[in-house]
Structures are given as structure tokens and as C-alpha cells.
Amino acid sequence: KINSDRLWDSLMEMAKIGGTVKGGCCRLALTDLDKQGRELYIKWAEEAGCTVKVDAIGNIMCTRPGEDMSLPPVGTGSHLDTQPTGGKFDGVYGVLSGLEVVRSMNDQGIKTKHPIEISVWTNEEGSRFAPAMMGSGVVSGRFTLEEILDKKDVDGLRLGDELERIGFAGETPVTGRDFHAFFEAHIEQGPYLEAEEKQVGIVTGGQGQRWYNATFMGRESHAGTTPMHLRNDALIASSQLVLKVEEIAKAHPPGCGTVGFMQVTPNSRNTIPGSISMSIDLRHPIDGELTLMDKALTEAIAEIEATGVSVELDPFWYYEPIHFNTECVSAVRKASVDLGYSHMDIIAGAGHDACYVSDFAPTSMIFTPCLNGISHNEIESTTQEECEGGCSVLLNAMLTMAEV
């Protein structure tokens, strides 16, 4: 069992960094607030006896020694960065659960054969810099360090420069990481555990994702003098695609399709929009279905282009559905049963660092319910009891793998 109050207090303390008036958190990757959050985390980890290292993409590794330091660690971790309208739990719950596991082991004088290692992965959200899960993606080899350091935010700031600026371009190489097993605790961020009244989700895998940037090129022109039939309105074309993305997702249940980002140029109320830049996010747990969604998107764009606005589609990110390691999944299930928590198997709808860690290490995840299934919203909420449940399962699953 873990110390529930201490876990909750740490969550509330961390939430002050970037805390919003609506009770959420805005701590975008590689901002000053991210730096503050990281520094507080390192302070806590060191106080808990961990040695701390930072790698070249800014991942923080906090190690509690094991009896046999030649063995690969049993890992856990998640992220401290949030969405612009983020909550207090998404990601943070995972890294603070990891810390609580170490603190509880210390309290109880538990020694493990394998070292325990908590990772705070860089830019999991993919909001300020796309794509998501960058820190774990670089370590897994999905991305090269160079391509990621070169990513730019919407203001043109370079990720590598921002990492330097906040002092988290570390010296540890991103290569050569290994885990005996890796577990990530996370709030579900969706409605299923709550609907089924389960305390714990045994995450067996994650759905596949495809991310795109689409650029629409129409022609700027006067809103009052340009007859309707002579227009090349980029916003009309992009609006058609927004609705099409919804239609495509609905035609492939339980797939999701979302346009979350859109920029209008010149964004002047009496000028017909000349160009639009927007994001598209398609997801499905079955890869074949995701392929069909991708195909439908391409077809929809061809239809829109026939109206006279040209569209450039950049499919810059894709990963196929993830299947977690059966032994790790069993360890989570066993811990849930042993501790008497109601539970169900579940597929992750979001991307998680664990998805990329599972490329190179046996991995699974532990989900806990969140109120009304709402996340990426300042009102994201969960209870202390729910947090305690997931963290206790994490402790037990890790202990099983780390050999007490």
C-alpha cells in the first residue's frame, strides 16, 4: 500500500505550477513553467534518495538503487507537460505515482534486486511541438534526436533551443536504455471505466494514430465586391474538411477524427481567407480501419480540391496499434486482483510514452477513472481514492517484476 495523502498532496503541489483559474494546469513543454515543474520533481526525487540524470532530449531519469546494479531497472514514468487547457492529472499522476512508489518502498524498507527507475519523458503532449511522445520516441528510436531538436512551435521557436534555454539539454545519451519491465500509471482520459464502474483499467494496448498538417491555398479577395461564384475561399474548403473528418471517424467506429488546430490567413473579417493551416488527427484500434480512414481523407481532399482551392496534406506522423507485453499485463491484472480492485481490460485511446517504451522493453499500463471521462480540459478531475488505487497497483506490479 502507498501513502495516499502524500501522493495527493504532491499532485496538488505540482498543479500550482501553471495552475489556471478554472482549476486546471497550463504547463506547455519546454516553457519556464515546465522548467519549474521539472526542478520541483528533481528536488523531490533526490530527497527520496534517487540519483538523477538528464538525457539529450531532456528526459529525466531518477534511479533508486537495486541490490544488483548490473540488472536493468524496472521502470515507470510519464510526463509533466500539459495541454494549454490541461488538467492536474494527465501525465503528472504517472510521474508522481512513480515517486510515491519509491517513497513507499523507502518507508517500508523494501529492497529490490533490480533498480527502480522513474522517467519524466519530454513533451508527451505534442501540443506546443508536434508530434507527441517525443522523449520516449527518441529513446525508442522512432525519431532521431536531430529531427526532434529541429521541430518548431507555432511562433517558430526551435525545440532544441528551448531545451537549452530551460537548462534541460542533458549529457546522458538517448541510446542504450533498457528496462526489465516498464509500467505507466495514467488517468483513462475517457469514459469507459466510469461507465463500467471499475477502479482499475488493465491496458492491453493502444490504438493507432495518424497525424497530418493540411494547408489550403485559396485566393484572398474582398468580402463585399467578390461575387460568390468567383471566390476561392480557403476557409470554406477547410470547413468542408473539418466536417468530412468527423464523418470519416463516424463511419469507422470506434475511430476518432479531430481537427484541433486551425490558423486563418490573413484573418481579416472583410478579406476572403487566402490560406488555412490545420491539423488532422485520426485514430483507430485496428490498423486496417485506420488505413481506410486515411484513404477516405485523401479522397475527401481530392473532392475539395476540385472546387478550386488547392490542398497540401503532410502525413507527418503515424504509428500502428500497440500491443503490450502479456507478462506485464498479467502483472497489472494480478496486482489488481490481489488488492481487491474492480478492474477491466481496456485499450488506450491516447498515445502514451509506454507505447514507445514497449518497442524495446516489456511494458504495460494502469488506468484509473476520471470524472465524466473528460481530459485535456481544465475541469479534468479524479478522486484521491482513485489515485491511490492505481498507484497501489503500480507498486505491486513493479515489486513483482523487481524481485523483492
Ligand X SMILES: NC(=O)NCCC(=O)O
Site for ligand X in 284-343 (CB under 6 A): none
CB of 264 to ligand X, least distance (A): 16
Q: Give the whole-angstrom CA distance, residue 242 versus residue 245.
A: 5
Q: Calculate ∠ Cα 350-377-42, nearest 5°.
A: 75
- If contact means CB under 5 to 8 A according to the sort of partner, which of ligand X, its own copies, none does residue 402 touch? none
**Site for its own copies, residues 269 to 308, rule: CB under 8 A:** 269-274, 279, 281, 283
Report the residue number, 70 or 270, with the smaller CB distance to its own copies: 270
- Which residue stretches of 174-306 are H helix? 192-195, 234-251, 287-305
Q: Which of 102, 108, 90 is nearest to 61 (CA)?
A: 102
Residue 251 CB contacts under 8 Å (≥ 6 apart), including other chains: 296
- Stretch touching its own copies by CB under 8 A, among 157-165, 346-354, 356-364, 393-401: 346-354
**Site for its own copies, residues 21 to 50, rule: CB under 8 A:** none
390 interacts with its own copies by CB under 8 A: no
CB of 84 to its own copies, least distance (A): 4
Is the link from the previous residue into 84 a cis peptide, with omega within 30 of 0? no
CB of 306 to ligand X, least distance (A): 29
Identified binder of its own copies from the candidate list 6, 377, 384, 403, rule CB under 8 A: 377
SS3 of residue 257 by DSSP: strand
- If contact means CB under 5 to 8 A according to the sort of partner, which of ligand X, its own copies, none does residue 288 touch? none
Report the residue number, 10 or 265, with the smaller CB distance to its own copies: 265
- If contact means CB under 5 to 8 A according to the sort of partner, which of its own copies, ligand X, none does residue 124 touch? ligand X
Q: Give the whole-angstrom CA distance, residue 319 versus residue 140.
A: 13
- Stretch touching ligand X by CB under 6 A, among 12-20, 106-114, 138-146, 220-228: 220-228
SS3 of residue 229 by DSSP: helix
Residue 268 CB contacts under 8 Å (≥ 6 apart), including other chains: none
Provide the residue type at 204 as one letter.
T
- If contact means CB under 5 to 8 A according to the sort of partner, which of its own copies, ligand X, none does residue 262 touch? its own copies
**Site for ligand X, residues 97 to 156, rule: CB under 6 A:** 124-126, 132
Q: Give the whole-angstrom CA distance, residue 163 versus residue 257.
A: 31
Report the residue number, 48 or 332, with the smaller CB distance to ligand X: 332
Report the residue number, 191 or 308, with the smaller CB distance to its own copies: 191
Report the residue number, 195 or 223, with the smaller CB distance to ligand X: 223
- Stretch touching ligand X by CB under 6 A, among 1-9, 161-169, 221-229, 301-309: 221-229
Count, residues near ligand X per rule CB under 6 A:
13
Count, residues near its own copies per rule CB under 8 A:
72
Residue span 51-90 as binding mask against ligand X, x where in contact by CB under 6 A, dash where not: ---------------------------------------x
Report the residue number, 126 or 160, with the smaller CB distance to ligand X: 126
349 interacts with its own copies by CB under 8 A: yes
Residue 328 CB contacts under 8 Å (≥ 6 apart), including other chains: 181, 182, 183, 362, 363, 364, 397, 401
CB of 70 to ligand X, least distance (A): 33
Identified binder of ligand X from the candidate list 146, 156, 228, 270, rule CB under 6 A: 270
Report the residue number, 222 or 229, with the smaller CB distance to ligand X: 222
Identified binder of its own copies from the candidate list 156, 176, 227, 340, rule CB under 8 A: 227
Question: DSSP per residue over 5-45, as a string?
Answer: HHHHHHHHHHHTTTB-TTS-B---TTSHHHHHHHHHHHHHH
Q: Give the whole-angstrom CA distance, residue 392 versus residue 6.
A: 13
352 interacts with ligand X by CB under 6 A: yes
Q: Give the whole-angstrom CA distance, residue 82 versus residue 46.
A: 23
Contact 323, 208 (CB under 8 A): no
255 interacts with ligand X by CB under 6 A: no
Identified binder of ligand X from the candidate list 160, 255, 351, 369, rule CB under 6 A: 351
Helix axes 92-107 and 32-47, enclosed angle (nearest 10): 10
Provide the residue type at 113 as one letter.
K
Residue 298 CB contacts under 8 Å (≥ 6 apart), including other chains: 313
